[in-house]
Structures are given as structure tokens and as C-alpha cells.
Structure 1
Amino acid sequence: MYHENFGIQIADHQHLKIYYSISKIRNIGIIAHIDAGKTTTTERMLYYSGYTRRIGDVDDGTTVMDYLKQERERGITITSATITFAWRNYRINLIDTPGHVDFTIEVERSIRILDGAVTILDAVSGVEAQTQTVWAQANRYNVPRIAYVNKMDRVGARFGRTIREMKYKLGTTPLVCQIPVIQKDNRGNGLFCGIVDLLDMQVLNWNKDPKGSVVNKTPLTDKYPIMGLYDEAIKGRSSLIEALSEMDDNMLDLFLSAEDHMKISVEDAKQALRRVTLNGKAVPVFCGASFRNIGVQPLMDAIIDYLPSPLDRSVPIASLSDDESVEILPKETEKLCALAFKVIYDNKRGPIVFVRVYSGKLDNHMTLYNTNIHHKERVNKLLQMYANDAEEISSITAGNIGVIIGLKETRTGDTLIQFNDSRKSLRLKNIDIPAPVFFHVVEAAGISEEKPLEEALKNILREDPSLHVHVDKDSGQTLISGMGELHLEIVKDRLLNDFKVKAKLGKMRISYRETVIDDKIDHTYLYEREIMGKRLKAQISLTITPIHENDQGSFNEGGNRIILNLTKKTIISDELDQSINNQETNELIKLSIEEISNAVYTGMISSLYRGPILGFPITRLSINVHSLRLFGAESTKTAISTCASQALTDALKDRNLVLLEPLMNVNIDVPEEYLGVVLGDLTGTRRGNVLGLETSGNLFDNLDNNIKIYIPPDPIFFSSNNNDKIINPKKVIHAHVPLSTMLGYSSSLRSLTGGTASFDMRLSSFGIMSDDRAKAVIREMQGGF
């Protein structure tokens, strides 16, 4: 089949139309720091599996996975792409995720539904900052992982150093399953030319085919021409078996009964390695150079051998109420339960909803029920996605990932069940969505463009839950908030080019927060108003206390805690029971406790979204609603919601309110000769606080060698180019910096260091502004957006 969007040949999908049992399914993701080689590695997987007939190239913009115009122009992954292919009679549902911190929501919602992951590491850079971020995300969901050290052909590649960094930076136990084969040329330069599989003691190389389709295997013996390779492999295998015996009881029995580790079979070692991977005790590590077509097929084998099927994962738990939950068994014979983990908008198809089916079977034209928004939805069509290509299918079975066309209201994180299912309150665990820290004002170019802009923003907001859009009540301006400068730059580009909206975006601003620092606020508020001849009335009593930064516990949206102690006893007082007539009582009974609670909660969230100082979101408040007085038919859901919203606003009026500014964790890789000027800039005008300083390349070289993991020796230097020079290790600066001073830092850092330094940053917390700084921000903001 010829794919018109990419101009490349795509192989037939007939091998994916066969039925795969749930044990033959692998739902995996590729996670890593930006530019570690995620998409390059994925493109090789597609080629070797027979999915494509040509290897896509990131630099040429011919990849299957990076299909957006913005991705091809920038050479980076912006949105996670899903693709399905077969390998060794297994079905692999693979998600290629972005590595840029601005698109962390793409990683978060992908990891939420994955069974396993491949972490790709750059052999030159080692464990980078965003790698630590995505690793922590995977830890939160207990996702088993394998690791692949890529770019072993590059100058400065150090496999052993990367293994050490995995242990000490990621807090994991790396188990080396392969070691690189380094061969010197006639000039004395080291060339990466293959790998040694430590399990079956074979040397693998790809010399017979420039595209890497043919894997040549040679048994490794003490006669192998590269001096020391056999002895090092023996050491590596021995260490691997010993490590497995420490973590796996079955392997321990084999280890104690065997005369030496070489007599333990490859299959026994693989089974032990699979067990310790699935239970999270260790991470198998492989190596290669994807761009040079080295090492990808063994990595694909490792996905099958060591990463879990849906049956190997712990059974998902869904809530039915605050105190009741149910296990979601991964069986087709069970009732349907699926999670919508991503929504994108397509000009031809409309909203496309990506789902992971946890139990049951999702059929075409089925009527569904969204338990989060209590809405009926109908399936118009089911698709199997191949990045931007799609194929219509009749069903999505338990354990699989697919796409639904036709859902009008479903969003990221919503739970879907069959409409006739009685479990209307069933909900799977939601997806954590980070708070946005930047915002733009966006305005339509003219009155005729207001409606198209509104529709475009609605579609983008549904696609990307880390974006926030709201209208400033005072100025009437529309504000769009995002995770970073690149994030909002992509949104702007999509508005203008993809949605063809004529709009203007204002200057980028920081999204601050507001909070109150009073010890405790007790407040009772009576809402009473007549609207279009109908009287609305409700009364609410609440207590507000500040949440300190180090407080633990569950929080609602925006870093607040909303506690609703609403029961029949706290809603209707004895006095009210005596004062209302029978007709009013009947009207009151129509509202259930759940409906009343939802109305109060909605009102609270509405009020928290706009603070009294500058209209920024309010955070760090614990709000306890301990009583609600209703007045019969006058107390509608609208009255209750409005009462809750205005009660909170009134309670905060004239209180000790302060502005909070986002503080970022910043990591800067800088050559030593520029260290002074970068530190001076960081601690001076940028008000940064330096937390630590490390040497990038030799970070753990002086650690105790008696650690319990095998670390292969690294050559001091090897190169495929005689003109290459030794790359000196960089210094790594760790700092805490206010986000307001980091605007445009990328350009400033390039200017200070001649383009030799790089950095990344992520939100750490929100800190209270000094009085002078707060006054300056207020003056600036009140001067107009």
C-alpha cells in the first residue's frame, strides 16, 4: 500500500489481521531524553518487522512516526504516535513518545496505559535530565523496563559510564546483557562493529547488509581475534548469573547446583531475567547504534522475551464509590472497561479517541457510557492506527489499543463502559495532568474569525489537557496557558496553519498563582437572587486553611484540597424541615446527594480558577464544606453551584493574599571554559540558587568498585573519523531558578557559550514572591495584557 502522506511504501497489514491471544500482546512505549534516538530506533523496528519497505530518516523528514508538519520541520517528536506491528508471531502495540519537557503530558498519558517500556540512553551523554523525569513517571505506574544504550558509534560513547549512571541517577539495578565489540583500525581508532550476547555467548554483527537486515552470529571462543573480548564476556556472563541468583530463587537453586555459570542454559537465564524484570527488581540493558542499523533486532527480541503481556501486569483496580472498588480482569468474557488516554482532532474524521481496552470487547457501532461525565456515546467506527495511517477494524479486544471515531464529549482520562452496564460510577485511575506555567493572550483578527477561533481552541484543548483556555472576566480577553515556550509556539503554529484561523497572539507571560496565608478562615455565605422571575437561594458554611508546601495527602485540581462533608444531616437542618411545605420537599428530594456535591464542587473549582489579586488560579488551600442549607425549590443545582463559588470568593476578600511564582529545577550542561560566565548570569540577574555542580563525563568514575553490578570497561577514546578530537566532559549545573527570569534563556545560553551548552528545566514548585517583586508584577499586569 502506498501512503500518500509520507511518500513511502508500507507493507501489507495482513499479518496483523490474525487473532493474537492476550499473552502474545506487548503494549510498550519508547521513552527517553530528546535526541536519544527514539524515533530513529522505532523506524528500524518498522523496517525489520516488514511494516515499511524503506527506513525513514528524521533529518530528511521521511519518518512514519513523526508525521506532523511541525515535527518534520523541527526534527523532534511533539505528539506520541501509536503503531502496531508483528515480530516473532507476537503483536507489538508501540507508542513513540516525545523527549522534550514541554510535552511531558504525552509521556504521562502514554505510560498510564503501557505494560512495559524501552528506555533509550545516549551513550555519549549518559543519563540526561529528561531521562530521569520519564523514568520517575514510569516508576509511578510500576512499568517494567528494559534499557537500550544507543549511539555506541559516536565519539565519546561510554557504555560502562552509562551503566553506572543508571544505577546512581535512576536508582535501578541494571543487568548488562550485551557488551559492545570495539575493533581498532590501522590508525588505532576504535570502531564499534557489533555486540556480544552474554546469554548465548555469540558475537553479532551486521556487516553483510548496509541496511542491517542480516544479523551475523559467530560463537565467541577464546580464539576470537579481538584480544580480551572472550575473557570480558565470561566475566560479564558470570556477573549476570550471580546477580540473577541474588534476586531470583529459581536461579539461585540452579546456581548452587551448577558446577559453573556456563552450564546454566540460555533458556533458564532468560526465564530468570524475565521474572526479575516483571517484578521491577532489575532492568536488562542492551546496546547498539540505531542510525548505523546495529543492535535493533536483538532489542525487539528483548521486548518479546522480557517485557510483560497484559496478563503479566497487576490487575487494574477501578473505583465504584469512595469506599468500594472492583478488579478489572483482562478477559474478553468480562464486561467492557476501557480508558480514553488521548484525543486528537482530524480535519476529515473529526475527534479521534485512543483507548486501551482493559476488559471485555469493544465492538463497532456499540453504544458506550462515559462514567466521568455521565454521557452516552456511540461508536461510529473503530480503527487500528499506524501512526497517521489507519485501518478500519470490527473490534478492539481486551489488552489491546485502538481508536474510536464518533465520540463527541470524551476526554483524556475518561472511563468507558457499555451503555447497558449497571456500573455507572465505575472509574479507572485518572491521568495526572501537570499545571501550565506560561500563557498567551489570543485574539481573533476580526468578528468573523471569533467563531472559528473558538472551535479551534476547543479542539486543541480536547487534544491536549495540559493546555488551559479561559476568558478573563474583566478584560474579556482569551488566555491560553501551556507548559513552555515551545509548547505554545506549536499551538500558535497549529492555529494559524492547521486550523487556518486568523488570530493574533500577544506577548508570552508567566502563569503565576495566588494563595492566602491566614491561619484559618471560617465563613458562612447566603446566596439569594432573582433571575428571570425565578428566585434562587442557598447557604453554605466552610472553613479554609492554607496547605504548606511540604504537606502530604491527596489534592484536587490546582493543588487544593476540597472536602465535602455533605450528608442528609448536614444538608437539611431541623429548622428547614419545619419551614418548607410538602411541594418544596418534593422538589428538594429530586436532587441526590451526589448531584448536590457535584454542584458544590463545580462552584468551588470555578472560583479557584480566578484569584482576587490578578485573576491567576488560587492554590494551596484546604476547603472544608461542613454544612449546606437549602430552601426547597429555590435551591437548584445552579443556585448551589453559584453559592459555593461566591462563598469562596467572599471568604477570601480582604484577606492576607500573596502571589506565587513558578520555580524551576534547571540543569545546564556547559563546557568548563564557560562555567564562570554561565554561573554569573544564573546567580545574578536570573536570581538563581545553585544546588550543585558535577562533571558530566566522569560523574561516577571514582565510586567504590565493589558495587553489585557488572560495569564493562570503557575505552578512553574511540572514533570512526581520524579528524575527530577527544571531547572533554562538560560540567553540569543544578539550580533552582524563578521561571520569570528564564524567558528566552535558550538564546542567551547559546550567546554566552558559542552554542556549546544545553539545558532543560521542569517545574519544581511555586514560591511566595517578595513584596517588591509582587508590586512590580501587579503594576505590569494591570498595565494591560
Structure 2
Amino acid sequence: MNPNPRNIRNIGIIAHVDAGKTTTTERILFYAGESHRMGDVSAGTTRMDFDPQERARGITISSAAITVHWNGTQINLIDTPGHIDFNIEVNRSLRVLDGAVVVFDGVAGVEPQTETNWRLADKYRVPRIAFVNKLDRLGADFLRVAAMMEERLGVKAVVVQLPIGTEGGFRGVVDLVGMRALVWNKDDASEPYRECEVPIGMREAAQQHRARLVALAVEHDEAATDAYLDGEEIGVDVLHACIRKGVLANAFVPVLAGSAYRNRGVEPLLDAVVNWLPKPGDAVNCDAQAPFAALAFKVASDDHGAMVFVRVYSGRLRRGDAVLNATTGRMERASRLYEVHADDRIERDELVAGDIAAIVGLKDTLTGHTLCDREHPVQLEQISVPEPVIHVAIEAKARNDQQALAKALHAMLREDPSLQLRQDAESGQTILSGMGELQLDVSIEKLRAKYGVEVSVGRPQVAYRETISREVGVNHVHKKQTGGPGQFAALTLRLAPLARGEGIVFESQVVGGAIPREFIPAVEAGVRRAAQAGVVAGYPCVDFVATLLDGSYHESDSSPMVFELAAAAAFRDAVAKAAPQVLEPVMAVEVVTPADYLGDCIGDLHRRRGMVRGQTMRGNAIAVEAHVPLKEMFGYIGSLRALSSGRAHYAMQFDHYEVASAREMATLLQS
């Protein structure tokens, strides 16, 4: 490993929607001197949510990057959305970040999207610290949230602070590392905290929690372990170093306390970011003298063209340099380089290993592409993109807007890889697919507001899938003689079901040249093309393995095109014999409701074919967890508000595909 000599932290702020993530980010900007006034989400004045739709809706839609400085450390910070429909933003941000701050609602605790984001951070092995926010709220319970983290996320949540006061009386924290109290006397952010003795009534609890912290932290340093076993006092600097090692090893997660809205706990959070989260070179190789390599993780378009956000992993990139896009094999030129400050940018002459910045001038670079030195090609790990579960038909209202619509959609798909576009073969309609109703709603509004295209939109439709339930083999011969060159292809194909989520696997067991090697890719292409079109109800067929067993060909009448046609026909024949099924997307739904409305909410979920999986207390409310088919969740928010006098709320995210009932399948086949 080659440590980067520059003192940098590349971090993300992630959370469930409404946990206070953007408010926390805005306070970080203020205390770090990047902003001279604090943005307010409800007032639409945030620095990071600068898109008009974000300000109008009061939510983060697109991840935003900014650079701040704290105690001599440069912090490149990415604020990510909390809504599941925009989870691709969290996914691609975590792929390039070195560390993360996970914000938890002090009342709600571990919420569904927090759990999803946590698993993504696990996937990319991103070290984390936790900030339990909103501790000034009624029902907030810091230690309960820490316990929920251990129970639901399967981590060691190590308390490093204790809140002083509860709910409306929350006024400070006990710093367990330094065994001191930090007290904020006013909500005014310009008033620094006051350092004082630990309150007498909290000293015993503080000693107990500090003992656990020390015991877990010293395990990661041999010298500290020996000193601890010898009964020596562990100094503050040594403890900080041990905590840092534990965080980098993902052995535990430090848990901090605060209320960002009340300006309490933000400065210690910044200290924790600098003290405990990794710098470039701690987790991955980061050598400024090595050949250039960077990963493109986001594309943003404006009136001046496309701006590609990159994480530089090694080497240097100067303005005007030509680089290889290893994913496409094409050369690209970086005409301008920028350090990004939300919706502002500062031009740079050079980017260096460890930087997160933006490049203008790249023509064909998309999310997940690798940029590198032409003489030293390398392919970095791609960014996974979830499959869409909902789609709508759209068309331009004015005939002369059709070309503008196509151009706008192309730009939007370049920015957001979780959106997909296709033409319906039967109706000729343009179908836009995404992760949820909100994402599609935002996209359609963007067509109007940003690109000036008015569109007509069909009703949201569920993205069903097809699959098979038993193994079957077929022999198929494609033979045509029309007076000109003939067509001949014969093949034996076997289909077998796979587990949910396995996708499509193609294998060839052809031996002895029964089918020429150059025709095998055409057979796979035919299978995949037919699978995409579907057999039963026109939905893509998934979760099967197709094995090419045998076949025969003709010297002059066989070609790749003929074998592709034969494979498609063989696939359709095989699926019809393999007990095909329709799969429907099922959502994990969490409804948080006052107890008075619990029965009505559960009854409504049952009417929607929901399966209730559990109930837990959430402050003074009850959280109901259920699995519900996506089809039944359209328009749910209006129904829930009516049932609960507007007091209940819900969150949902895609969980799995499930075989549709016979009644549901019959309905689909009739439609």
C-alpha cells in the first residue's frame, strides 16, 4: 500500500429518508466554514439540495459533492438521497468512498432504507461511524438505537458518547474517550460548546460504557493490549489510535449523539471523521506516482455539456490529458477539471490520487467506466445497477417535440443508469422503467422543467417477470428453402430452473464440432433475445440455465443468423413445456402508526395481499413490517392517510420476486 501524503477524507452521509441527513450535512458546511449561513430543508434553502425539485419536495434526489476543511484535513463529502427510489445514488457513491457517516433518527432507530444502505456499505467494505440524530425529539432514546443497530445490522455498536439530558432537555454529550462533558448552552450555532466535568449522576454509567469501549478498542493494537492487561491507564491519544484501527477493520462502529437541527454534536462528529475514518491509501492502493486510474461514478448534464464525477485511485490527470476509457476501448480527452462545491465549481489544473472531482469533455464515459493510462490499461470493479420494478408509457404531447423527447431521455439515462428505456414491440410505445413511482414522477417533471418537453404519461405498470419451474429438453430444426440460399440449423436445448435472482446462464456442451464454434454465440444471443421478449405474457424470462447439448449444420445453408433464429424458436418451445410461471415484485413495507390505527392499517395490508411479518414499538408508535406485492401499493399513501387521520407514514423497497397466484396470472393473461 502507498499512503497518500495529503490529509484527505472521502466520506458519504447516508441515512433513511427524514433522518436528518441533509440537515447534518448543512451544519457540517457551516462549522467547517464552507457556508456562512445554515440551509433549512423545510425552507428550501439548503446548499446541497440545490435542484429545484429537491427544494420543492424537501428531499434529496441526486447525490451532491462538496469539499470542506476541518482541523487541517480536507474532507470530500457526498450527501446521498435517503429515498429507496434513488438508491443508485447511494450505491455508486459508496463504491468510491473511503468512509461513511450513517445518520440514525433518535426516535425511529434503524429504518428500512438505513438497513439497505448499511448492506451496500458492507458490500463495498466501507468503514462507518454512526450519528444518532434528533435526540431533542419526544421519544428519542440513544441507547435503544445503539441496541437496534446490534440487533438489526449485526454489528458491534460501540457507544463513544452519552447524551446529557433527554428529549427537550438534551443539551450536550459526555465524551467517553476524554471523559469530559460537552455542553451547548444555546441553539445558536455561533456559540461553541462548553467543556466541563461529567455530571455526577452520569459518572457511573460513563465509566461502564468507557470500560467496554476501551476493552474492544485495545484488541486492535498489541502494545495497547499489553498495557491494558497490565492494568495501565489507556491514554486519550492511544485510545483514539485504537478506535481508528477498529473502524478501519470494520470490527465495530462508534456511535455518537446529537441534534443537528439544534446545532448540538456536529463539531465532535467532524472530529470523529478526522480521527477515525480512513484516508486514501488506508483501504486501497493510492499512489500519486503510479499510472493514472480512475472510476467514473456519476454523470451530470447541464447547458454546458456533461460533467463526469470520478474517484482517482492512482496517478495524476492534468487538464487536456488524453486517457483511455478501458470499458469502451476509446480514447477520451479531459478538457477541464473541477473541484466541486455543490452547485459551484473551482477549476483545477490537475487531479491526484485520492481526489474526488469532476471532468468536462468526456464524450462516451458513463457510470462505472474505468479511465486509465493508455500504456497501463486496468479495469476497476464496476458499479452494480438494480433492475427496475415499475414502468410507464410516455409520448410527447406535440408531434414536433418527439426528437427533443428522444434527446432528453438519452441525457437522463446517461445520468441515471437505474432508468431504462425500451420500445414496446406491439404498441410501439416508449416505455420508461425505474425503481418506483417517485423516481418516475421526478423524471417526468425533469422532462418538462429542464428540457421543456411536455409528455403524456400512462398509468404505472408493474415490471413482471417469467420463469420456468421444471427441467425440459427440446430438439429443434430450422429449415427453409425459398429458391435462393437455404436456411438450416438443428440444435438440442435443455432448460433448467435457477434460484430467484440468478438471472440467465448459458452453457454449451457441444463436442466434436457438431455445431461450429463461431455459431455458439449466435445460439446464446437467440436464447437471450427470446427470453427478453417473454413467452407466456410478454415479460422477460429469468432465473434459468440454458444448455446447448448437440446439433447439426449445413456447409452452405447454415449461418449465425439462422442459428440465432433456431435458438429463439427452441427456447419458446422449451418454455411452453417447462411449466412457465409469472413472477411479481414483492416489496418490503414498513408502516409506522399510532396504536389507535394499528388494526385498520393491518387490515388494509391484508386486503392488499400483504403478509405481516412483525411489529415493534417505535417510540410512542408501532412499526408494522410486511411483504406486499408492488401492484397493490399504487396509491397507498392516500389510503394510509385516510385510515390514520394523516398520522401514519410508510416506507417500502423492493425485496424479491415471487410466483404470482393463479388468479393474478389469469388476470395478466387476459389483459
Please state which band the TM-score falls in when normalised by the shorter chain.
over 0.9
In structure 2, the residue corresponding to 1:163 is in which secondary structure?
helix
CA distance in 1, matches of 2:474, 2:132: 57
In structure 2, the residue corresponding to 1:292 is in which secondary structure?
coil
1:124 to 87, 107, 110: 107
Aligned AA (1:546)? P
Give the equivalent residue in structure 2 for 1:521. Answer: 473
CA distance in 2, matches of 1:598, 1:385: 44
Alignment of 1:410-421 (within 5 A): 410-421=365-376
Whether the aligned pair in 1 keeps the contact of 2:494 and 2:548 (CA below 8 Å) is yes
Give the equivalent residue in structure 2 for 1:562. Answer: 506
Give the equivalent residue in structure 1 for 2:79. Answer: 96
Residues 639 and 455 of structure 1, relative CA distance in 2, 3 Å threshold:
farther
* Cα deviation digits, residues 574-610 of structure 1 (max 9, x gap): xxxxxxxxxxxxxxxxxxx7xx887666555443322
Give the equivalent residue in structure 1 for 2:545. Answer: 622
* Cα deviation digits, residues 478-530 of structure 1 (max 9, x gap): 11111111111111111111111121111111111112233133455658899
Residues 602 and 296 of structure 1, relative CA distance in 2, 3 Å threshold:
farther
CA distance in 2, matches of 1:192, 1:287: 10
Give the equivalent residue in structure 2 for 1:544. Answer: 495
Give the equivalent residue in structure 1 for 2:388. Answer: 436
* Cα deviation digits, residues 272-295 of structure 1 (max 9, x gap): 111111101100111111111111
Q: Give the superposed CA RMSD.
A: 2.9
CA distance in 1, matches of 2:481, 2:222: 71
Q: Note if 1:331 corresponds to 2:287.
A: yes
Aligned AA (1:400)? D
2:325 to 358, 365, 370: 370
Q: Which moved more, 1:117-126 or 1:393-402?
A: 393-402
Give the equivalent residue in structure 2 for 1:258. Answer: 231
Question: What are structure 2's unaligned runs of at least 5 residues?
Answer: none
Whether the aligned pair in 1 keeps the contact of 2:4 and 2:353 (CA below 8 Å) is no
Count of residue pairs brought into register by the alignment:
668
* Cα deviation digits, residues 529-575 of structure 1 (max 9, x gap): 99xx99998776543211133x8xxx4xxx222346799968637xx
Give the equivalent residue in structure 1 for 2:118. Answer: 135
Whether the aligned pair in 1 keeps the contact of 2:63 and 2:79 (CA below 8 Å) is yes
Task: Give the TM-score normalised by structure 2.
Answer: 0.92
Give the equivalent residue in structure 2 for 1:478. Answer: 430
Aligned AA (2:539)? F
CA distance in 2, matches of 1:630, 1:479: 39
Q: Note if 1:217 corresponds to 2:195.
A: yes
Whether the aligned pair in 2 keeps the contact of 1:22 and 1:311 (CA below 8 Å) is no
Residues 41 and 640 of structure 1, relative CA distance in 2, 3 Å threshold:
farther
1:696 to 602, 611, 618: 618
2:300 to 311, 334, 344: 344
1:157 to 137, 140, 148: 140
Give the equivalent residue in structure 2 for 1:297. Answer: 267
Whether the aligned pair in 1 keeps the contact of 2:474 and 2:573 (CA below 8 Å) is no
* Cα deviation digits, residues 116-145 of structure 1 (max 9, x gap): 110101111111121111111111111110
Residues 385 and 518 of structure 1, relative CA distance in 2, 3 Å threshold:
same
Q: Which moved more, 1:285-294 or 1:383-392?
A: 383-392
Give how far 1:251 is off: 2.9
In structure 2, the residue corresponding to 1:662 is in which secondary structure?
strand
Aligned AA (1:330)? C
Give how far 1:23 is off: 5.2
Give the equivalent residue in structure 2 for 1:195. Answer: 173
Whether the aligned pair in 2 keeps the contact of 1:212 and 1:293 (CA below 8 Å) is no
CA distance in 2, matches of 1:639, 1:23: 59
Give the equivalent residue in structure 2 for 1:81. Answer: 64
Aligned AA (2:386)? P
Higher RCO (CA-CA < 8 Å; seq separation 6+): 1
Whether the aligned pair in 2 keeps the contact of 1:22 and 1:398 (CA below 8 Å) is no
Residues 209 and 507 of structure 1, relative CA distance in 2, 3 Å threshold:
closer
Residues 658 and 432 of structure 1, relative CA distance in 2, 3 Å threshold:
same
* Cα deviation digits, residues 430-478 of structure 1 (max 9, x gap): 2221121111000122331211111111111121111111001111111
Aligned AA (1:757)? A
CA distance in 1, matches of 2:486, 2:36: 70
Residues 367 and 190 of structure 1, relative CA distance in 2, 3 Å threshold:
closer
Give the equivalent residue in structure 2 for 1:32. Answer: 15
Residues 231 and 311 of structure 1, relative CA distance in 2, 3 Å threshold:
same
Give the equivalent residue in structure 1 for 2:208. Answer: 235
Give the equivalent residue in structure 1 for 2:351. Answer: 396
Give the equivalent residue in structure 2 for 1:722. Answer: none
Whether the aligned pair in 1 keeps the contact of 2:155 and 2:252 (CA below 8 Å) is yes
Residues 674 and 173 of structure 1, relative CA distance in 2, 3 Å threshold:
same
Q: Note if 1:71 corresponds to 2:54.
A: yes
CA distance in 1, matches of 2:132, 2:27: 15
CA distance in 2, matches of 1:413, 1:642: 33
Whether the aligned pair in 2 keeps the contact of 1:349 and 1:405 (CA below 8 Å) is no
* Cα deviation digits, residues 704-737 of structure 1 (max 9, x gap): xxxxxxxxxxxxxxxxxxxxxxxxx222212121
Q: Note if 1:310 corresponds to 2:280.
A: yes
Whether the aligned pair in 1 keeps the contact of 2:522 and 2:564 (CA below 8 Å) is yes
* Cα deviation digits, residues 61-119 of structure 1 (max 9, x gap): 11111011111001111111111122222221111111111111111111111111101
Aligned AA (1:615)? G
2:621 to 724, 730, 744: 730
Whether the aligned pair in 1 keeps the contact of 2:187 and 2:264 (CA below 8 Å) is no
In structure 2, the residue corresponding to 1:105 is in which secondary structure?
helix
Give the equivalent residue in structure 2 for 1:577. Answer: none
* Cα deviation digits, residues 240-295 of structure 1 (max 9, x gap): 21232456544321212235xxx321001101111111101100111111111111
Residues 673 and 139 of structure 1, relative CA distance in 2, 3 Å threshold:
same
Q: Which moved more, 1:740-749 or 1:599-608?
A: 599-608
Whether the aligned pair in 2 keeps the contact of 1:30 and 1:119 (CA below 8 Å) is yes
Give how far 1:306 is off: 0.6
Give the equivalent residue in structure 2 for 1:659. Answer: 582
1:744 to 614, 631, 635: 635
Q: Which moved more, 1:540-549 or 1:379-388?
A: 540-549
Give the equivalent residue in structure 2 for 1:503. Answer: 455
Question: What are structure 1's unaligned runs of at least 5 residues?
Answer: 1-19, 184-188, 316-328, 574-592, 698-728, 781-785
In structure 1, the residue corresponding to 2:39 is in which secondary structure?
coil
In structure 2, the residue corresponding to 1:312 is in which secondary structure?
coil
CA distance in 2, matches of 1:487, 1:228: 49
Give how far 1:750 is off: 1.0
In structure 1, the residue corresponding to 2:427 is in which secondary structure?
coil
1:758 to 643, 649, 661: 649
CA distance in 2, matches of 1:743, 1:337: 44
Give the equivalent residue in structure 2 for 1:572. Answer: 516
CA distance in 2, matches of 1:366, 1:631: 52
CA distance in 2, matches of 1:72, 1:642: 52
In structure 1, the residue corresponding to 2:42 is in which secondary structure?
coil
Q: Note if 1:44 corresponds to 2:27.
A: yes
Give how far 1:406 is off: 2.1
| Fraction of identical pairs, as percent | 39
Whether the aligned pair in 2 keeps the contact of 1:528 and 1:538 (CA below 8 Å) is no
CA distance in 1, matches of 2:372, 2:475: 41
Residues 252 and 492 of structure 1, relative CA distance in 2, 3 Å threshold:
same
Q: Note if 1:206 corresponds to 2:184.
A: yes
Q: Which moved more, 1:638-647 or 1:492-501?
A: 638-647
Whether the aligned pair in 2 keeps the contact of 1:29 and 1:110 (CA below 8 Å) is yes
CA distance in 1, matches of 2:361, 2:550: 42
CA distance in 2, matches of 1:631, 1:337: 48
Task: Give the TM-score normalised by structure 1.
Answer: 0.79
Q: Note if 1:387 corresponds to 2:342.
A: yes
